[in-house]
A and B are shown apart, each in its own frame.
Chain A
């Protein structure tokens, strides 16, 4: 076996696969280490990819030539654009994916990637020399050498499953390996904390009375997750909706005493935005019911995922609860739901390239950083993979800032604020979301990917052609017309005597698409995705201009750098809590320090004054 690589990726989940593929695209020799090659690319929780905020991440990973969107399209059996009635900046594309086909698509893409070797085995320890990573030791004694290691190990650190009174340590063999690596991470001084997440029972779709339930059909338009997927390939299935009711709530209340969530057995914090059904009943008991989506797991798969009843109640209570709902009175549970508690590292130990500050060459991505979700994992994996390859090849790291992408927002949040619950992407987290739309991810990110040299030929060609086309349309939209000229061609705009470019006129409600297309035929002839992007750009333009000044300000404060060894304790007047947060987050700029929670303007002024004094 070949044992020398540039980058070694541990873990074949969504983060690990993107990391390995991205590092290989950047030209590194990559090993992807997994327990079992058949589980590579598995979706371990719900069968959906995308959604509000998450759909943005999928499009961004795709723009950086990642795998997730193309695999989602290859496996999609249901498409839905969330928030379609709201502004495009908060619309979230989502698909239900066929599990087997998704995994198959990922494995096929990895197999085609040159420079990437899939290895089966179990990591025991990092090999280090003078405080730097030099490789990885496997359980069978094999020593792999590599200048960078990416840990994308999901919940393997101290995983514990809970269901009613049952407990299951980690749920897999090889605790020794996890423990040894876990100890090594602790010895590095990495702060470790515990988080909790849960999953609902899986139902046998043949035992559901579909006819009795409200149906939610797949979106009829023909959009795809990746612009490189030319069309939807699989037959589309409908999801169905049912609700909990008073009887369901009564069953849950009676079972609460047997739930590990309330017996104190689980110490880790669960996510507020994805509560267990026990939590929902306890906190919102006055509601007469909660919506439950029944999502098929595949075309030729009988399993159905009831989204909304994540639970760790005992199996018998789960069965009674499920059967109390409309359409599910005969439903069979195939796999009962459970809660899982796991260790994660405090992501404030990482820098913006996802490198562990205390150990050069070590990168972390995915759930190990305290996030939840395939999309969050994939996005971090891509960034960690690219930067691990950059590290191995002595190239500049790729740092995405908050104004560039949701990926940048997420990483900045993680490395500055840390996590108190599993971190999930929300559009509300992105202050510049009017410019960070799912529909303009290519325009925003392909150039960054090209600059860092990890975008494939197909994507590059598509981007170049699209930019050429956009250039022609932009030129046509720069043509100016007066208000009276607009009136002559049929737009009942206010006669304010103003002369505006067609791009500016586009946002006036009196103008409308049809007229604009007449005035700018190149726009009409453009592909739908480009047409929509330009249309939205025009509508948000006044807001984007206002934000430009804000972003310039942000970038100016980002240039006021804070040395890594800056001593916050020498600044009198910072509270102990502020000092602790700043020392935990180690912001690298004044802008970043200002984003650390609880840092007041006065504290920021104090830091600035001390920085200036030190510089003087």
Chain B
């Protein structure tokens, strides 16, 4: 029998309340030991918690008893909603830790048990990880869709279609001696089915990825020295993240600042100013880093010569409009100091970000899911080009395997380890 685990699953104390979750076969024993009784299942009730070792009162708390298997982890569970003081939480945890068969949960262990007990599938687990880390509305919506299994249902649909296609191919191979299996017609139907499925898969793959949603849209500010990049950065993120001075070349390295604008996560990067000759070795390195950042940018704000855009899609910015004459400049005129044009810039950033991020109602794919879907699409593509039905059937089999990888069948162990390594405790 597995150990019973417990952990604080609300935020770090001090906080308004501290929710401690207990999961495992001894959850009921632990609740009774603390509260002196087992409350009615699934009904919140108030109780005075006492330390079972000496009877000393610990806290007055809300008590929940959730018998398995219909619980988050699939096991018996208890919840203690204590007061969120540091000492209160520590005392309750200490009391729990002293009970036989109970131990503190390892990071991600509650979710791991939910997965192990079939309460969640892998895509849902990844969605949950995102949901817990979500800081913006958009992240929250996309993560919730993943947690709720929208993507899993879509994969299941693909799997069923693939099975149909494979079944047709196998019928033509294994029962070709029977006149009831029409060879030529069936091959044409398989071909059409593969093409339609590939189109569907490609559509999902073309949608923006989860990483962008999680890490933010990368906005890079670049231009010659003293063009006002750092001032603009500070204005965008709403604090003095970068040092600003009139001395050209103040910013010598990249400065990355995450910030949300209009509910969308952005990662703003300030860069060293670019000029023909570097003054010293340090500046040369800074300029190399600036160029690398510009290459990797999702949106590049260019504060330099509008006729020398470093990238075709760079956005020319006429900065420092409060003190510069920008007549004839095609770019967006703005002043971080007076606030002129800042609203227009925010609108422009949000508009560009919308194209890079999943639309509302879309879920976003992770690198792992993306890899699986890419493999699936590759095998479908190969299958569509096969003249030999036998090879086509083999490609379809590989496509089915790619789907299995998406739902976590192959390489189970490695994938679990990776998945749980960075997972937050107690959820």
The answer to whether A and B assemble together is yes
Q: Is the CB of B116 within 8 A of A594?
A: no
A601 at the interface (CB under 8 A from B): yes
Q: Is the CB of A605 within 8 A of B408?
A: yes
Q: Is the CB of B174 within 8 A of A290?
A: no
B196 at the interface (CB under 8 A from A): no
A604 CA / B410 CA spacing, docked (Å):
10
Find the A residue at minimum CB distance from B74: A573
Of the residues A52, A89, A543, A546, contact of B177 by C-beta under 8 Å: A52
Number of A-B contacts (CB under 8 A): 105
Knowing A83-B173, A602-B115, A605-B115, the reply to whether A290 touches B409 (Cβ < 8 A) is: no
A82 at the interface (CB under 8 A from B): yes
Q: Could you mark each residue 419-443 of chain A with 1 if its beta carbon is under 8 Å from any beta carbon of chain B, else 0? A: 0000000111001001000000000
Q: Is the CB of B408 within 8 A of A608?
A: no
Q: Which of B128-185 contact A (CB under 8 A)?
A: 170, 173-180
A287 CA / B119 CA spacing, docked (Å):
47
A605 CA / B357 CA spacing, docked (Å):
32
Q: Is the CB of A87 within 8 A of B69?
A: no
B2 at the interface (CB under 8 A from A): yes
B85 at the interface (CB under 8 A from A): no
Find the B residue at minimum CB distance from A594: B409
Q: Is the CB of A610 within 8 A of B174?
A: no
B118 at the interface (CB under 8 A from A): yes
B388 at the interface (CB under 8 A from A): yes
Report B132 CB to chain A, min CB distance, Å.
20
Chain A residues with Cβ under 8 A from B2's Cβ?
610, 613
Report B384 CB to chain A, min CB distance, Å.
16
Report A94 CB to chain B, min CB distance, Å.
9
Q: Is the CB of B117 within 8 A of A426?
A: no
Report A604 CB to chain B, min CB distance, Å.
6
Find the A residue at minimum CB distance from B416: A605
Query: Which of B210-218, B252-260, B397-405 contacts the other chain?
Result: B397-405
A284 at the interface (CB under 8 A from B): yes
A488 at the interface (CB under 8 A from B): no
A290 CA / B180 CA spacing, docked (Å):
7
A546 CA / B395 CA spacing, docked (Å):
11
Report B345 CB to chain A, min CB distance, Å.
47
Q: Is the CB of B118 within 8 A of A431?
A: no
Report B228 CB to chain A, min CB distance, Å.
52
Knowing A89-B390, A428-B170, A553-B410, the reply to whether A606 touches B116 (Cβ < 8 A) is: yes
Report A553 CB to chain B, min CB distance, Å.
7
Is the interface on chain A under 10, 10 to 19, 20 to 34, or 35 or more residues?
Answer: 35 or more
Chain A residues with Cβ under 8 A from B175's Cβ?
52, 273
Chain A residues with Cβ under 8 A from B412's Cβ?
601, 604-605, 608
Of the residues B1, B115, B174, B389, contact of A426 by C-beta under 8 Å: B174
Chain A residues with Cβ under 8 A from B401's Cβ?
550
Q: Is the CB of A572 within 8 A of B68?
A: yes
Chain B interfacial residues counted at CB < 8 A: 42
Instruction: Tell which of A553, A604, A606 has the most Cβ of chain B within 10 Å.
Output: A606
Q: Is the CB of A572 within 8 A of B409?
A: no
Of the residues A426, A428, A602, contact of B120 by C-beta under 8 Å: A602
B278 at the interface (CB under 8 A from A): no
Chain A residues with Cβ under 8 A from B117's Cβ?
571-574, 606
B321 at the interface (CB under 8 A from A): no
Q: Is the CB of B390 within 8 A of A87?
A: yes
A495 at the interface (CB under 8 A from B): no
Report B373 CB to chain A, min CB distance, Å.
16
Knowing A572-B74, A601-B404, A601-B407, the reply to whether A428 touches B179 (Cβ < 8 A) is: no
B238 at the interface (CB under 8 A from A): no
A300 CA / B196 CA spacing, docked (Å):
56
Instruction: Tell which of A273, A600, A609 has the most Cβ of chain B within 10 Å.
Output: A609
Chain A residues with Cβ under 8 A from B314's Cβ?
none
Q: Could you mark each residue 268-282 of chain B with 1 if its beta carbon is under 8 Å from any beta carbon of chain A, else 0? A: 000000000000000
Chain B residues with Cβ under 8 A from A573's Cβ?
69, 74, 116-119
Q: Is the CB of A87 within 8 A of B391?
A: yes
B301 at the interface (CB under 8 A from A): no
Chain A residues with Cβ under 8 A from B408's Cβ?
601-602, 605
Q: Is the CB of B118 within 8 A of A575?
A: yes
A273 CA / B416 CA spacing, docked (Å):
41
Q: Could you mark each residue 233-267 of chain B with 1 if its beta carbon is under 8 Å from any beta carbon of chain A, else 0? A: 00000000000000000000000000000000000
Q: Is the CB of B410 within 8 A of A427?
A: no
Q: Which of A103-119 contact B (CB under 8 A)?
A: none
B93 at the interface (CB under 8 A from A): no
A347 at the interface (CB under 8 A from B): no
A608 CA / B417 CA spacing, docked (Å):
12
A53 at the interface (CB under 8 A from B): yes
Q: Is the CB of B118 within 8 A of A606?
A: yes
Q: Is the CB of B178 within 8 A of A291?
A: yes
A570 CA / B115 CA spacing, docked (Å):
15
Q: Is the CB of A572 within 8 A of B75?
A: yes
Find the A residue at minimum CB distance from B397: A431
Q: Which of A553-611 contact B (CB under 8 A)?
A: 553, 570-575, 594, 600-606, 608-610
B59 at the interface (CB under 8 A from A): no
Report A79 CB to chain B, min CB distance, Å.
14
Knowing A553-B410, A572-B117, the reply to whether A82 touches B176 (Cβ < 8 A) is: yes
Q: Which of B58-96 contact A (CB under 8 A)?
A: 68-69, 74-75
A273 CA / B74 CA spacing, docked (Å):
42
Chain B residues with Cβ under 8 A from A550's Cβ?
401
Chain A residues with Cβ under 8 A from B390's Cβ?
86-87, 89-90, 434
Knowing A601-B408, A601-B409, A609-B112, the reply to whether A90 touches B1 (Cβ < 8 A) is: no
Q: Is the CB of B118 within 8 A of A428?
A: no
Find the A residue at minimum CB distance from B183: A85
Report A270 CB to chain B, min CB distance, Å.
17
B422 at the interface (CB under 8 A from A): no
A574 CA / B118 CA spacing, docked (Å):
7
Report A16 CB to chain B, min CB distance, Å.
28
Find the B residue at minimum CB distance from A427: B174
Chain A residues with Cβ under 8 A from B328's Cβ?
none
B353 at the interface (CB under 8 A from A): no
Of the residues B69, B177, B407, B411, contact of A572 by C-beta under 8 Å: B69
Report B24 CB to chain A, min CB distance, Å.
10
A543 CA / B27 CA spacing, docked (Å):
52
Chain A residues with Cβ under 8 A from B1's Cβ?
570
Find the A residue at minimum CB distance from B166: A428
Q: Is the CB of B174 within 8 A of A605?
A: no
Report B4 CB to chain A, min CB distance, Å.
13
A19 CA / B176 CA spacing, docked (Å):
32
Chain A residues with Cβ under 8 A from B340's Cβ?
none
Knowing A87-B390, A594-B409, the reply to whether A601 touches B121 (Cβ < 8 A) is: yes
Chain A residues with Cβ under 8 A from B116's Cβ?
571, 573, 602, 605-606, 609-610
Q: Is the CB of A87 within 8 A of B388?
A: yes
Q: Which of B260-310 contact A (CB under 8 A)?
A: none
B106 at the interface (CB under 8 A from A): no
Find the B residue at minimum CB distance from A554: B410
Chain A residues with Cβ under 8 A from B351's Cβ?
none
Q: Could you mark each residue 19-51 of chain B with 1 if its beta carbon is under 8 Å from any beta carbon of chain A, else 0? A: 000000000000000000000000000000000
Chain B residues with Cβ under 8 A from A291's Cβ?
178-179
A-B contact pairs, 14 of them (CB 8 A): A52-B176, A82-B177, A86-B390, A90-B174, A290-B180, A428-B173, A434-B390, A546-B398, A550-B401, A572-B68, A601-B409, A604-B412, A605-B408, A610-B116
Given contacts A428-B174, A604-B409, A605-B408, 12 further A-B contacts (CB under 8 A): A82-B177, A83-B176, A86-B176, A87-B391, A90-B173, A573-B117, A601-B122, A601-B404, A601-B412, A602-B118, A608-B413, A613-B2
Interface residues of B, Cβ cutoff 8 Å to A: 1-2, 68-69, 74-75, 112, 115-122, 170, 173-180, 388-391, 393-394, 397-398, 401, 404, 407-413, 416
